[in-house]
Amino acid sequence: MAISTNTYAGVVSLTWTTLNSLASSNVAGAASLALVNTSFGYLDDWLNLGIKLGTAPTGGFINDLFVALIPSVDGSNYATPVANGTDQAITLFTPPNWDILQAGMQVQGTNWFYAGRIACRGHATNDIVWGTFALAQSFGGTVPPKWQVFLMNVSGAALFGSGHTANYNGITVTTA
């Protein structure tokens, strides 16, 4: 009888310099350099983000970081608006209503998929807040050939100028 088990690839770091000193905004955020899944054919990926807060989140804001995923089938055409596969700042046309979203839902005003939030409330200056996300669930069941991660900082304070961690771990199934 054949037995199937999950096989985890090594952890791979994302290139994402636009996180450094990212201001708090309800329409502007940062997208990572695109990740390529065509060579490996991962069925799922675990995305792990460690975001360093520049100062403690302030009152009057949502006080969270929001994570969305930007798919691409060919690596040239990314889901709108204005994503292009590079490590880039992106400004949305209208602020999304993050509070109504659940993993896998489309982010309003975009063709992106919502991955989740990283809570910042109660954290202090220079704290690192962590979030881990299962990408297949966020993409509706299947990880696309190429994808980017988008983060919007709605914490009420800018992120630290360095010290962020962003990586992923691919998952395949091995049957023996």
Instruction: Report the CATH number at residue 64.
Output: 2.60.120
- Residues of the domain holding 59: 10-175
Confidence (pTM): 0.92
Any domain includes 5: no
What's the number of domains the chain is made of? 1
Q: What pLDDT shows up at residue 121?
A: 83
Q: What pLDDT shows up at residue 159?
A: 95
Any domain includes 31: yes
Q: What pLDDT shows up at residue 80?
A: 78
Determine the 3-state secondary structure of 38 from DSSP.
coil
pLDDT tens for the 176 residues of the chain, in order: 889 898 899 999 999 999 999 999 999 999 999 998 888 888 999 999 999 999 888 765 578 999 999 999 888 888 877 899 999 999 998 899 998 999 999 999 899 999 999 998 888 888 999 999 999 999 989 899 999 999 999 988 899 999 999 999 999 888 88
Any domain includes 1: no
Q: Name residue, tokens 């520049």.
A: 54
The rounded distance, in Å, linking the Cα atoms of 128 and 53 is 6
Q: What pLDDT shows up at residue 1?
A: 81
Q: Count Cα neighbours of 50 within 13 Å in the Cβ-side half-sphere.
A: 10
pLDDT digits (tens, 9 = 90+) for 109-137: 899 999 999 998 888 888 999 999 999 99
Q: Which amino acid is at 119?
A: A
* Residue burial 65-97, b: 16+ Cβ < 10 Å; e: rest: bbbbbbbbeeeeebbeeebebebbebebeeebe
Q: What pLDDT shows up at residue 72?
A: 93
Any domain includes 148: yes
**Secondary structure element (H or E) that encloses residue 12, with its range:** strand 4-13
The rounded distance, in Å, linking the Cα atoms of 152 and 150 is 7
Cα dihedral value 103, 17, 96, 34, nearest 10: -50
Any domain includes 4: no
Q: What pLDDT shows up at residue 79?
A: 82
